[in-house]
Amino acid sequence: MSAAHTQRRVVVLISGRGSNMRALVESGRETNSPYQVVAVLADGPQAPGLATAGDLGIETGVIAPRPNGNRDSYAAELAAEVGRRAPDLIALAGFMRILAPTFVDAFAGRILNIHPSLLPKYPGLHTHRRVLAEGDLEHGATVHFVSAQLDAGPAVLQGRLDVGRGEDEARLAARVLELEHRLYPLAARWVCEGRLACRDGKAWFDGHALASPLQLAQFDGGQDAA
């Protein structure tokens, strides 16, 4: 059977430039990839990643909140638009809206997010700034399944790097983003190969419940990032 018939369908949600979206698309086009990105949806027409996705030949769409709408009505509209693409996996790539529990429940176990910190440390925004303010010597990024609680779903894969002496926020952010581009396609592949799953509020890898996130260095044989 050809790869076109066996590939799992991935929908990516963005709010910004979508660099992780691009990494997912490019990985999905590699030989023998278990998935393909079939659509990129944004929460506003201003997202630069829409143009990037269009240039890559990916279907795009905008699901913007209505002026008089609420979180639940937006969740219902988003779920309908995502659902009609029949995704096997939904990847949040800089999607800056907290998903309503109704949306999370509708796609339970099929939503991944990537967060620029070593969760459970530093959920939320401004993670690089907070790492520097605390004087941490280590930083990184985490791929996790999405739950109704912000950045609190089961963590599955992390990449780590050392924080350089005198390093500024912009440089640190750029280095973490490079890690993200390696982490996210790998986790998406595992989900679409059936190796990684979310059941009973836990992440499972190759049939075993994860007590802690997998580490990128376990799989590429070296330090995560210089």
Answer yes or no: 115 catalytic: yes
Give the Cβ contact number of residue 32 at 10 Å.
Answer: 8
DSSP per-residue letters across 50-87: HHHHHHTT-EEEE-PPPTT--HHHHHHHHHHHHHTT--
**Catalytic residue (one of 5, 115, 139, 181):** 115
Backbone torsions φ then ψ of 13, nearest 5 degrees: -110, 130
User: Other CB atoms closer than 10 Å to residue 172's CB: what's the count?
Assistant: 20
Could you tell me the two tokens for 75?
A: 């969740």
Q: 200 — alpha (psi -120 to 50), left (phi > 0) or beta?
A: left
The residues carrying an active-site annotation are 115
